[in-house]
Amino acid sequence: MTPGVAVLVLVLAALALLTLAMVAHARRRPAPARVVPIRVPRELAAPRPAPTRQAFRDEPHLLYHYENHRGGWVYAGISSNPQARHAKHEAKSRWFGRTTGRMIYDQWYPNYEAAHAAEVVVIEQAVYAGHPMENGSHNPNRRTRDAA
């Protein structure tokens, strides 16, 4: 199996799981926000020097999202350093105050390309499911990109 096919299989599997989760979520009453527990690899949890562009693309990346207080998705993204990305959202994102303040870890991907492909699908599906996503990129309902 070629690497491109393997990435496609991973993205399609993630898409199927997220679709099922979003359908189930839409059918139930809004629940209080929750944090999905996930074990963060030790080497990703510690601060580290900025990688080269290629090294960055080869690092594992996390697909994450933020929810509002009714359980609706507000923002989804990817990061190789989720703690730093959360701090940046908290400090600079205009939409952060409308969330529970918790970054919900969805899934780790082996590299940037796989995570980015999953991110595009997740944002588009969330928008079509009626979640008012704040993402500027990959969001068919927004033409400008928000800060952070």
The reported pLDDT for the residue numbered 124 is: 86
The reported pLDDT for the residue numbered 57 is: 83
Asked whether residue 104 is domain-assigned, the answer is yes
The reported pLDDT for the residue numbered 147 is: 44
What range defines the domain where residue 63 resides?
Answer: 3-41+52-128
Total-model pTM: 0.60
Asked whether residue 134 is domain-assigned, the answer is no
The reported pLDDT for the residue numbered 50 is: 60
| Long-range interactions of 139-142: CB distance < 8 A, separation 24+ | none
Looking at the 3D structure of the chain, how many domains does it have? 1
Asked whether residue 65 is domain-assigned, the answer is yes
Asked whether residue 140 is domain-assigned, the answer is no
- In the predicted model, residues of the chain with pLDDT beneath 70 are 1, 20-53, 55, 140-148
The reported pLDDT for the residue numbered 28 is: 55
Asked whether residue 135 is domain-assigned, the answer is no
The reported pLDDT for the residue numbered 101 is: 92
